[in-house]
A and B are shown apart, each in its own frame.
Chain A
Amino acid sequence: MRSKLPDAASSRKMAASSAVVAILASIWLCSSIAADASGSSSETTMHTNNWAVLVCTSRFWFNYRHMANTLSLYRTVKRLGIPDERIILMLADDMACNSRNKYPAQVFNNENHWLNLYGDNVEVDYRGYEVTVENFLRVLTGRHESAVPRSKRLLSDEGSHILLYMTGHGGDEFLKFQDSEELQSHDLADAVKQMKEKHRFKELLIMVDTCQAATLFNQLHSPGVLAIASSMKGENSYSHHLDSDVGVSVVDRFTFYTLAFFERLNMYDNASLSRLFNSYDPNLLMSNAYYRTDLYQPNLQEVPVTNFFGSVMETVHTDSAYRAFPQKNTPRETRIRTGNTAEDDSRRSILTDMTKAECPFTRIVSSLESKMETVGNLDSLVNYGLVMILPVLVVSVWLST
């Protein structure tokens, strides 16, 4: 009896501890399942659409080039297939109608004046004093007042690829808005984090052309974010050339060479992001372009620039237009690409490769998940787990005595 007393006590203890362990284990399992569900969703969600948020943050005539930068990018992404309703264009001043403009209602980004950036089809969503840090953050996070029209909102979803382009005057971890406000790197990182939490994007490319632009990315932590900056900390970003006819500098170097890269591309080209990144020559830029890729998993050599700068995606053919379709397990054979009547096999192969290429962890978790589904109910799984734990407990008690 005596000897059994501790046994009884230990067995009671054991039962209690095993219950705790079981609870912990089940919690772990559940949470892992939940985490897997949410985590895998962003990884495996299909690319649904492309958005662009193009921001020129500086006012005044002598900052003509910033507006020209933004309008050039606007024109490029539009040409590459992002429709106007998915471009949020923010211009802090109206250079086209500035009384100092020698060419009224026209904006040029080159002294040869071949291309009027301010032609017929420019939809400016936020103009003049509407371009504030507050409005910018509201656009990113989608927290608008109810009166704000849909055209001024970033209505992206968890499958969206977003291009965020900003230009203006910046410094160490800030970007000046309107000569009166600042967007700090913390604000930007915070907004991006919120966007991630709210499933507002799948992938986000932030491109910034200001002085010390790289510092603006210091606080970013959200996965799926890729960042390009025109200059490192302590460096200036310079304008490319002066239009002595208009009397101002018309384009910045970084943007100029970005545009030069895109001018050679059309919607169906396969140029990868790494090709874009390698196209920047520090001697021509007079600054060092900076790329932050640690938050972005896909291999840059395999990601076409049109993933962000254009809108080239798969469409899913369904029989009925009104029935919701599952996102997963879509038959690959039915995929067709929009806007592409010509056959483009190499392009397609990249796409399929990308969808196949998953990271090993995801693969394990998803297989576990599928196994879980075959088990049927969780209760039996928990029971099995408890039974499995008992021999382990016995062995451990035996070892400890």
Chain B
Amino acid sequence: MAKVEKKEVAAATPPWKPKPRPIVRLGIVLISHSLLVSVVCCTAGIVALFLLPMLAKNTYISENALMPGSASSMLSNHDISEAERLAKDLTSLNSGAADAGIERRRVLAKYLSDLGVEVGYHKFQSHQNQFHPLHFFSSPDSGLSRENGSCSSYGINVVGIIRAPQADGKEAIVLVTPFNFRKNSSSEALSISIGYAVFSLLSRVSWLAKDIIWLVADSQYGEYASVASWLRDYHIPVFSASSSHNADSCFEGNNINLSREESPGRTEISSGFRRAGTMAAALVLKVTDVKGQLEDTLSVYAEASNGQMPNLDLINVVNYLAVHRQGLRVKVEKFLSVLTWEWIWVLGDTLNFIGKVAGSLNPEWKFGISTPDYVEGTATLASSLYRQALGIPTGPHGAFRDFQVDAITLEISPKVVYTNQGRRNEFILRSARLIEGVVRSVNNLLEKFHQSFFLYLLTSPAKFVSVGVYMIGFALLVAPLPLVAASLYVDANKPEPSSQDPKQKLQINFKPWKWLSAAKQVFTVHAWGVFVSLLPYFISQIPNSTPAAHSIIWFSLSTFGLLVLYLITKSPSKPQKGKWENLKSLTISAVFIGLLLMSVVNFATAQIGALVLVPACLLAQPLKLDIRTASLKTFLRIATNVFISFVAFPPAGFFILKGVNEGFGNMDVGEFWTWLESLWAWNSATYIYIGMVHLPCWVLCLQILLHSC
């Protein structure tokens, strides 16, 4: 902006005054009307967000090669009865016995080797997720320290690999079924049944172009940890034998020498790590018992770390096969509480009405959407946005995304817990046929999934909003920021009103260093933000303390740090005119930069952040000024400012959201700590955003509000 002004000055002197270029003039017009522009843009941005469920498109299979459902299922009742025999053998083992887990593993391995496939055990050590401040965005391995742990924290996955009979073995498809070998769970046995039925079929077919890996993940230390450690070992080979030796010694101590176990089946059970080709896709299969369902339901979970999504085609294939071939009801997560909000229904009615009117005016305009659809879409969209913004994977599939493998979790829940064997077999048949169909479809792929979208929000299992659409709302929301920043800067550096000469008025009293103190302030606050974000690493080292205590220590240390910084950097000079404008201008610039950067890393976080920060920054004005000119307008502004700054404070915002969703009954101070802990444990960029963009900007807004001018 300074450059633009300079040009103006230069252009004013010669007698033949050349017109500035249209883009410059447009910029000047926009800046001089920044208030109007910002009101229009922000409103449009928020309206665009609420229009997204209407603008959602139906999904379609974009990749020609997939051809889902073109092949008929080959799964037979024989496969299912075999699978049920396995499930019975697994569940009949006495769960109380100490070595039941080992025995179950052995039974499973025997069944697999009877199929003639390669079987292997994968030993892993469960790692506690720890906060490593420098490990955000880094490769998954670097966070791993292969330190010696106690033998008790070892888990063992069972891995079966089918080599594609006519292919080159360069690619693989992964099936994952989490299974706790120590516990006896009927739903997990059901998922093993389904997995085994598919696997035994695939071990016989001749049409495989990709190897099939079935990973029965030992879920006693969590589903994610076992899958993640297997993936790490798959992709990052260890050449020193220390780790595996360590594990082996553990098992020898426990009299379970897996490597020297006698081979009961057709193939050797290897102790070494078995690999196949690069992974084309992965399916995590789970069976859950959900009460009170009308029909068999398939829930699809797709969000991986930092809001990354698998290729939309994978979800499309699953959705297509589940709905059109197996007749399952597919659903994706949604915020049920949204369904109870009255105003959303009213909004849906309004949009429905507008759509109908538009349709009656011109039948070409078909953007009407029925009210229940709209509300459902909004609830799903909100959930999709929230899950992506959180940046925490919603299931074991998240581990695959870290290695750029497209993966989703399929959670199948039967209508009732089947006691009748016939009904149970039918359920297994349908689920296994779904998996078989997806595998066959992915098997047809020639390249990685690339044809369809990676950046999208789901509004229903068969509807999505692509990046090209949802970016519009965000762009509208942040567009006023640079304009307002520029206009504030111009205002702050205007000449004194004493110079009445119109010629003089054009000339801008250009003081390049006036904004420097404000910049210093902004920079210090951001440095404080970094300090606050790093604090939990040290606080979490304190032994034997509750999350509540952690929170309090953190809060007090942060406040103390802020005070110290404030006292150090406090300028001795008197506050001068235009100081708070400069500060606000720079704050807005910082917010703008922060939001843009975040929108590249994780769009959903940036979108939600912009909803809070943009109004907070734009409305911020010293309370003193408003109080001085007491009117209805200023009173309203004071109220809004106070409300927004309260909501924008991260812990307050967290508790309000939680209260809205779950009721304000039992609140614990420690919950906020636990929540943030989960963010950093999953290396979520949202944590960095909160610490380094949101919190500093909130503090700066507070400083503007409390400015003594």
Give A contacts to B, CB under 8 Å: 60-62, 97-104, 242, 244-249
- Cβ–Cβ contact A101 & B207, under 8 A: yes
- Cβ–Cβ contact A242 & B166, under 8 A: no
Give B contacts to A, CB under 8 Å: 64-65, 67, 70-72, 164-168, 205-209, 440, 443-444, 446
CA distance in complex: A102, B204 (Å): 11
Q: Which residues of B contact A102 (CB under 8 A)?
A: 205-207
Known: A99-B207, A100-B209, A245-B71. 4 other contacts (CB 8 A): A61-B444, A99-B164, A101-B166, A104-B206
- Cβ–Cβ contact B71 & A60, under 8 A: no
CA distance in complex: A210, B443 (Å): 26
- Cβ–Cβ contact A248 & B167, under 8 A: no
- Among candidates B71, B164, B168, residue contacting A246 with C-beta atoms closer than 8 Å: B71
Most buried by A among B70, B164, B208: B70
CA distance in complex: A244, B437 (Å): 12
Q: Which residues of A contact B208 (CB under 8 A)?
A: 99-100
Minimum Cβ distance to chain A for residue B443 (Å)? 6
Consensus secondary structure, chain B interface = loop
- Cβ–Cβ contact A62 & B209, under 8 A: no
Q: Which residues of A contact B443 (CB under 8 A)?
A: 100
- Cβ–Cβ contact B206 & A244, under 8 A: no
Q: Which residues of B contact A249 (CB under 8 A)?
A: 70
Q: Which residues of B contact A103 (CB under 8 A)?
A: 206
Task: Knowing A61-B446, A62-B444 are in contact, say whether A104-B166 is a contact too (CB < 8 A).
Answer: yes
Task: Knowing A99-B166, A246-B71, A247-B71 are in contact, say whether A60-B446 is a contact too (CB < 8 A).
Answer: yes
CA distance in complex: A324, B443 (Å): 61
CA distance in complex: A60, B206 (Å): 18
Q: Which residues of B contact A104 (CB under 8 A)?
A: 166, 206
CA distance in complex: A101, B208 (Å): 8
Q: Which residues of B contact A97 (CB under 8 A)?
A: 166
- Among candidates A98, A99, A244, residue contacting B72 with C-beta atoms closer than 8 Å: A244
CA distance in complex: A62, B446 (Å): 10
Q: Which residues of B contact A62 (CB under 8 A)?
A: 64-65, 67, 444
Can you report 15 A-B residue pairs in the complex whose CB atoms are below 8 A from each other? A60-B65, A62-B65, A98-B166, A98-B209, A99-B208, A100-B207, A101-B166, A102-B205, A102-B207, A104-B206, A244-B71, A244-B72, A247-B71, A247-B440, A248-B67
Minimum Cβ distance to chain A for residue B468 (Å)? 25
Consensus secondary structure, chain A interface = loop
- Cβ–Cβ contact A244 & B207, under 8 A: no
Minimum Cβ distance to chain B for residue A90 (Å)? 21
- Cβ–Cβ contact B206 & A247, under 8 A: no
Task: Knowing A60-B65, A62-B64, A104-B166 are in contact, say whether A99-B71 is a contact too (CB < 8 A).
Answer: no
CA distance in complex: A61, B167 (Å): 13
Most buried by B among A244, A245, A247: A247
Q: Which residues of A contact B446 (CB under 8 A)?
A: 60-61
CA distance in complex: A161, B123 (Å): 70
CA distance in complex: A246, B440 (Å): 11
Q: Which residues of B contact A244 (CB under 8 A)?
A: 70-72
Residue of B nearest to A179 (CB): B446
- Cβ–Cβ contact B167 & A242, under 8 A: no
Task: Knowing A60-B65, A62-B64, A99-B167 are in contact, say whether A247-B209 is a contact too (CB < 8 A).
Answer: no
Q: Which residues of B contact A100 (CB under 8 A)?
A: 207-209, 443-444
CA distance in complex: A97, B440 (Å): 17
Q: Which residues of B contact A101 (CB under 8 A)?
A: 166, 206-207
Q: Which residues of A contact B167 (CB under 8 A)?
A: 99
Residue of A nearest to B67 (CB): A62
CA distance in complex: A62, B444 (Å): 8
CA distance in complex: A103, B166 (Å): 11
CA distance in complex: A97, B168 (Å): 12
Minimum Cβ distance to chain A for residue B164 (Å)? 6
Task: Knowing A60-B65, A62-B67, A101-B207 are in contact, say whether A247-B166 is a contact too (CB < 8 A).
Answer: no
CA distance in complex: A244, B164 (Å): 20
CA distance in complex: A97, B205 (Å): 15
Residue of A nearest to B71 (CB): A247
Q: Which residues of A contact B209 (CB under 8 A)?
A: 61, 98-100
The 10 closest A-B pairs by CB, nearest first: A247-B71, A99-B167, A99-B166, A244-B72, A99-B209, A102-B207, A100-B209, A62-B65, A247-B70, A100-B207
Q: Which residues of A contact B164 (CB under 8 A)?
A: 99
Residue of B nearest to A102 (CB): B207
CA distance in complex: A62, B166 (Å): 17
Residue of A nearest to B72 (CB): A244
Minimum Cβ distance to chain A for residue B446 (Å)? 6
Q: Which residues of B contact A247 (CB under 8 A)?
A: 67, 70-71, 207, 440, 444
Minimum Cβ distance to chain A for residue B1 (Å)? 49
CA distance in complex: A98, B71 (Å): 16
Minimum Cβ distance to chain B for residue A211 (Å)? 14
Q: Which residues of A contact B71 (CB under 8 A)?
A: 244-247
Q: Which residues of A contact B207 (CB under 8 A)?
A: 99-102, 247
- Cβ–Cβ contact A61 & B70, under 8 A: no
CA distance in complex: A97, B209 (Å): 11
Minimum Cβ distance to chain B for residue A149 (Å)? 30
Most buried by A among B205, B207, B208, B446: B207
Residue of A nearest to B440 (CB): A247
Q: Which residues of A contact B65 (CB under 8 A)?
A: 60-62
Q: Which residues of B contact A98 (CB under 8 A)?
A: 166, 209
CA distance in complex: A98, B207 (Å): 9
Residue of B nearest to A244 (CB): B72
CA distance in complex: A342, B75 (Å): 55
CA distance in complex: A102, B440 (Å): 11
Q: Which residues of A contact B70 (CB under 8 A)?
A: 242, 244, 247-249
Residue of B nearest to A247 (CB): B71
CA distance in complex: A247, B205 (Å): 13
CA distance in complex: A60, B207 (Å): 15
CA distance in complex: A103, B206 (Å): 8
Q: Which residues of A contact B64 (CB under 8 A)?
A: 62
CA distance in complex: A103, B205 (Å): 10
Residue of B nearest to A101 (CB): B207
CA distance in complex: A242, B68 (Å): 12
Minimum Cβ distance to chain B for residue A359 (Å)? 49
Most buried by B among A61, A99, A246, A249: A99
Most buried by B among A100, A244, A245: A100
Minimum Cβ distance to chain B for residue A178 (Å)? 13
CA distance in complex: A103, B168 (Å): 17
Most buried by B among A61, A103, A104: A61
CA distance in complex: A164, B370 (Å): 55
CA distance in complex: A62, B70 (Å): 11
Minimum Cβ distance to chain A for residue B40 (Å)? 44
Minimum Cβ distance to chain A for residue B126 (Å)? 38
CA distance in complex: A207, B166 (Å): 35
Q: Which residues of A contact B166 (CB under 8 A)?
A: 97-99, 101, 104
CA distance in complex: A27, B633 (Å): 102
CA distance in complex: A249, B65 (Å): 12
